[in-house]
């Protein structure tokens, strides 16, 4: 066999259905330009109701104090931190898709990156709510930032909780910038297609007068690449630093070096599941099957399988290290996780996160949309329970049996969490209505016709 | 008639636009531009554009963020609010890594995005090229070339003939 020539491997096309550049704009802009359907209004109303629930729960919390939550001694960290880690983790898949897959030249990302980035930004907003309100006296929340004040008081930079403020703050800002830079050419598309004066002005304002000039594209592409290059270490650092909140403490079950990679893998895992949950619905409703093809969905299933296996490996390795370290507290913490007072939560976590993705070994299941959606829901549930298991089991059974306790959430905990979905979906529904959910210019760029040497002899 | 910004011509796709840009560059025009709905690979070289200086701006941003992050923490921990926490030294280099890193990334991102806006002179809510009658399709499926009247070689008649000869259609003189 001749190995001196490059064989061009034929891949499945990324865009199907004989699309032209114009038809891509039409497909993606349609949901933005058409009058929103009835279900959209109903869904938005539902989301806003949940958002109101969140706001009232926060109001009640601020008025009454942290005592309205189920926290006790020794479990001083409950649903607030669990929800925080849950939401931050969901964001990570968006950055992985937009930045890491970009650096690896994975062109299939173009159909889903806008969607995933929007999810990142909104998930981080939901995440930021929880550390903000859990401080108790939220009028003191400015203590978290290095702001000069009349008490000449400054934050403690040797605390992992403070690192978190900087990590998540930076993550939100950079994700937002990245998203906006990607949106710029598409906002210009909406501006040029706008039929009413208001739309023309509003989209025009945000499009910054983008005119598709190649001299601008040149710097634009460079900026995009640099942003991808810095967002990659950033996303890895963010969940590592979130894991430091636990890992830098002395508590058995938390004080382990496996936490940073384990948390990052779990974050990507949960994020991909959330992308799939939302995308499967949006693709169906907005008729985007020719842009978000089965190939895209299959790739995401493979990601879920791979990261799910990493998470499963971490669960097993934690047990091994507990045994191998010979530390009795560590050994107790892990035996207690699997067989103790919160064993029910542990086994929900294992079944959802380790067992359910195993279906994706088989192509038949990776092409079954209904099954995919069900598994993505299981993973979402499982990853929430993972954070619950880590946080609560370790705290409820610490060093001295005399200080043990059992934690249960109150209705305020539950309603605040449910309400945070209201915040997320309100933002998401507004995004679907007012912004293009697929990166129009990027999808055009990966079509074979976009290559200036297309159909020319090589 | 008011002053002319330049001449605009439309092409039917990325391929013909790419070769047109090469011909315009080789004909000796300097103040010209192409307009496309998506970036075309290799267009910068076809137009004779130099490498972007943006990475240098990003580097400056990164270094600035690194310095600010480290200086902020050092000053606060050693002088501004010097307290001993869990027996750690006042200057705890490993503990300062996360915040220094995050601020490095943050400043790099700011310098990259706003640097790109600066180099591209954005926002530019008014630009003469939008006066061209068919330019609205540029963000969807239109491929255009413009040669600006500021170019030394620009001549209303000759430039029009030249654009026609390299395959341009709907050639139009754009007002300032």
Q: Which pLDDT score, from 0 to 100, does residue A11 have?
A: 67
For residues B61 and B106, state if they share a domain: yes
Cβ-Cβ contacts under 8 Å, A227 against chain B: 109, 112-113
Three-class HEC string of A17-67: CCCCHHHHHHHHHHHHHCCCCHHHHHHHHHHHHHHHHHHHHHHHHHHHCHH
Tens digits of residue pLDDT in B104-138: 999 999 999 999 999 999 999 999 999 999 999 99
Report the candidate in A80, A114, A25 with the shortest Cα–Cα distance to residue A431. Answer: A114
- Give the C-alpha separation, B91 to B127, whole Å: 53
Tens digits of residue pLDDT in A314-367: 999 999 999 999 999 999 999 999 999 999 999 999 999 999 999 999 999 999
What are the respective helix, strand and coil percentages of chain A, to the nearest 5?
A: 75, 0, 25
How many CB atoms within 10 Å of residue A23? 15
Inside any domain, residue B145: yes
Inside any domain, residue B124: no
Report the candidate in A90, A95, A33, A44 with the shortest Cα–Cα distance to residue A440. Answer: A33
Confidence of residue A1 (pLDDT cuts 50, 70, 90): low
Report the candidate in A195, A201, A251, A224 with the shortest Cα–Cα distance to residue A403. Answer: A251
Inside any domain, residue A382: yes
- Give the C-alpha separation, B176 to B173, whole Å: 10
CA distance B164 to chain A (A): 20
Question: If contacts are CB pairs under 8 Å, which of residues 158-177 in chain A contact chain B?
Answer: 158-159, 162-163, 166-167, 169-170, 173-174, 177
* CATH number of the domain encompassing residue A171: 1.20.1630.10
Q: Which pLDDT score, from 0 to 100, does residue A217 have?
A: 95
Q: Which pLDDT score, from 0 to 100, does residue A389 have?
A: 94
The range of the structural domain enclosing residue B20 comes to: 4-49+129-175
* CATH number of the domain encompassing residue B27: 3.30.70
Inside any domain, residue A458: no
How many CB atoms within 10 Å of residue A219? 21
Tens digits of residue pLDDT in A241-286: 999 999 999 899 999 999 999 999 999 999 999 999 999 998 888 8
Q: Which residues contact B155 (CB under 8 A, 6 or more apart)?
A: none
- Give the C-alpha separation, A113 to A253, whole Å: 35
Domain boundary pick from B119, B137, B156 = B119
User: Is B124 within 8 Å of A209 when comparing Cβ atoms?
Assistant: yes
- Give the C-alpha separation, B53 to B36, whole Å: 22
Query: Which residue of chain B is at minimal alpha-carbon distance from A27?
Result: B140
Cβ-Cβ contacts under 8 Å, A451 against chain B: 14, 41
Report the candidate in A122, A12, A97 with the shortest Cα–Cα distance to residue A420. Answer: A122
Average pLDDT, chain A: 91
Confidence of residue A458 (pLDDT cuts 50, 70, 90): low
Cβ-Cβ contacts under 8 Å, B103 against chain A: 166, 170
Q: Which pLDDT score, from 0 to 100, does residue A10 have?
A: 63
Inside any domain, residue A457: no
Question: Which of A170, A220, A455 is facing B106, going by the closest CB pair?
Answer: A170
For residues B94 and B58, state if they share a domain: yes
Domain boundary pick from B119, B141, B159 = B119
Query: Which residue of chain A is at minimal alpha-carbon distance from B126?
Result: A209
Tens digits of residue pLDDT in A152-210: 899 999 999 999 999 999 999 999 999 999 999 999 999 999 999 999 999 999 999 99
Report the candidate in B143, B168, B132, B121 with the shortest Cα–Cα distance to residue B27. Answer: B168
Tens digits of residue pLDDT in A76-88: 999 999 999 999 9
User: Is A452 within 8 Å of B81 when comparing Cβ atoms?
Assistant: no
- Give the C-alpha separation, A67 to A413, whole Å: 11
For residues B154 and B141, state if they share a domain: yes
The range of the structural domain enclosing residue A400 comes to: 21-147+154-450
Q: Crossing angle, helix A343-350 and helix A369-388, to 10 degrees?
A: 150
Q: Which pLDDT score, from 0 to 100, does residue A13 have?
A: 75
For residues B112 and B134, state if they share a domain: no
Domain boundary pick from B93, B119, B145 = B119
Query: Which residue of chain B is at minimal alpha-carbon distance from A26?
Result: B140
User: Is B112 within 8 Å of A244 when comparing Cβ atoms?
Assistant: no
Question: Which of A173, A217, A450 is facing B14, going by the closest CB pair?
Answer: A450
User: Is B33 within 8 Å of A214 when comparing Cβ atoms?
Assistant: yes
Number of domains observed in the structure of chain B: 2
Q: Crossing angle, helix A369-388 and helix A79-95, to 10 degrees?
A: 140
For residues B171 and B133, state if they share a domain: yes
CA distance B106 to chain A (A): 6
Cβ-Cβ contacts under 8 Å, A221 against chain B: 39
User: Is B125 within 8 Å of A454 when comparing Cβ atoms?
Assistant: no
Residue range A220-229: average pLDDT?
A: 95
Query: What is the DSSP-derived secondary structure letter of residue B80?
Result: I
CA distance B41 to chain A (A): 7
Could you please report the per-residue DSSP string of A404-426? -------HHHHHHHHHHHHHHHH
CA distance B2 to chain A (A): 22
Average pLDDT, chain B: 93
CA distance B158 to chain A (A): 23
Question: Which of A157, A221, A223 is facing B99, going by the closest CB pair?
Answer: A157
For residues B58 and B39, state if they share a domain: no
3-state class of A455 per DSSP? coil
How many CB atoms within 10 Å of residue A258? 14
8 Å CB contact between A79 and A133: no
User: Is B14 within 8 Å of A451 when comparing Cβ atoms?
Assistant: yes
Cβ-Cβ contacts under 8 Å, B138 against chain A: 192, 211-212
Inside any domain, residue A4: no
Is residue B1 over pLDDT 60? no
How many CB atoms within 10 Å of residue B18? 24
8 Å CB contact between B2 and B176: yes
8 Å CB contact between A109 and A291: no
Inside any domain, residue B25: yes
Number of domains observed in the structure of chain A: 1
Confidence of residue A8 (pLDDT cuts 50, 70, 90): low
């Amino acid at each position: 066999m001749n190995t001196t020539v490059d064989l061009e491997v034929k891949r499945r096309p990324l865009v199907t259905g004989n699309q032209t550049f114009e038809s891509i704009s039409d497909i993606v802009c349609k949901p933005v330009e058409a009058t929103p359907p009835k279900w959209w209004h109903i869904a938005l109303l539902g989301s806003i109701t949940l958002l109101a629930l969140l706001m009232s729960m926060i109001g009640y919390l601020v008025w009454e104090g942290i005592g309205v939550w189920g926290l006790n001694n020794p479990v001083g960290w409950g649903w607030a931190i669990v929800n925080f880690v849950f939401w931050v983790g969901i964001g990570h898949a968006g950055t992985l898709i937009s930045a890491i897959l970009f650096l690896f030249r994975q062109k299939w990302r173009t159909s889903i990156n806008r969607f995933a980035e929007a999810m990142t930004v909104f998930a981080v907003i939901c995440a930021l709510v929880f550390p903000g309100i859990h401080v108790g006296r939220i009028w003191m929340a400015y203590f978290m930032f290095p702001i000069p004040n009349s008490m000449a008081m400054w934050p403690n930079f040797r605390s992992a909780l403070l690192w978190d403020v900087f990590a998540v703050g930076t993550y939100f800002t950079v994700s937002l910038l990245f998203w906006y830079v990607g949106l710029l050419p598409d906002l210009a598309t909406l501006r040029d297609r706008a039929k009413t004066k208001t739309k023309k002005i509003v989209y025009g304002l945000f499009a910054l007068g983008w005119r598709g000039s190649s001299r601008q594209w040149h710097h634009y592409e460079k900026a995009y690449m640099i942003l991808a290059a810095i967002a990659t270490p950033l996303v890895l650092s963010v969940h590592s630093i979130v894991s430091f909140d636990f890992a830098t403490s002395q508590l058995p079950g938390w004080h382990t070096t496996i936490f940073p990679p384990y948390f990052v893998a779990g974050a990507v895992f949960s994020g991909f599941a959330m992308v799939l949950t939302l995308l499967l619905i949006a693709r169906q409703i907005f008729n985007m099957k020719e842009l978000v093809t089965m190939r895209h969905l299959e790739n995401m299933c493979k990601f879920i399988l791979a990261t799910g296996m990493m998470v499963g490996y971490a669960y097993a390795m934690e047990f091994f290290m507990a045994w191998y370290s010979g530390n009795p507290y560590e050994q107790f913490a892990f035996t207690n996780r699997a067989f103790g007072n919160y064993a029910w939560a542990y086994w929900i976590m294992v079944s959802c996160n380790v067992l359910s993705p195993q279906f994706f070994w088989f192509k038949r299941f990776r092409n079954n949309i209904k099954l995919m959606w069900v598994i993505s829901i299981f993973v979402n549930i499982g990853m929430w329970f993972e954070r619950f298991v880590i946080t609560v089991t370790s705290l409820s059974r610490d060093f001295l049996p005399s200080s043990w306790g059992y934690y249960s959430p109150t209705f305020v905990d539950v309603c605040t969490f449910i309400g945070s979905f209201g915040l997320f979906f309100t933002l998401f529904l507004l995004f679907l209505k007012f912004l293009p959910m697929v990166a129009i210019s990027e999808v055009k760029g990966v079509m074979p016709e976009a290559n200036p040497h297309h159909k020319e002899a090589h | 008639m008011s002053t002319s910004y330049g001449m605009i011509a439309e092409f039917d796709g990325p391929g013909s636009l790419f070769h047109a840009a090469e011909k315009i560059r080789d004909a000796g025009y300097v103040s010209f531009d192409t307009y496309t709905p998506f970036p075309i690979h290799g267009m910068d070289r076809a137009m004779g554009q130099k490498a972007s200086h943006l990475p240098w701006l990003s580097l400056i941003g990164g270094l600035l963020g690194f310095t600010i992050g480290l200086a902020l923490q050092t000053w606060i921990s050693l002088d501004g609010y010097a307290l001993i926490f869990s027996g750690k030294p006042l200057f705890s280099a490993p503990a300062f890594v996360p915040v220094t890193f995050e601020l490095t990334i943050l400043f790099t991102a700011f310098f990259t995005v706003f640097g790109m806006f600066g180099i591209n002179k954005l926002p530019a809510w008014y630009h003469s090229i939008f006066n061209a009658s068919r330019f609205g399709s540029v963000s969807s499926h239109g491929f255009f070339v413009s040669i600006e009247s500021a170019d030394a070689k620009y001549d209303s008649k000759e430039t029009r003939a030249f654009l026609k000869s390299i395959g341009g259609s709907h050639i139009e003189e754009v007002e300032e």
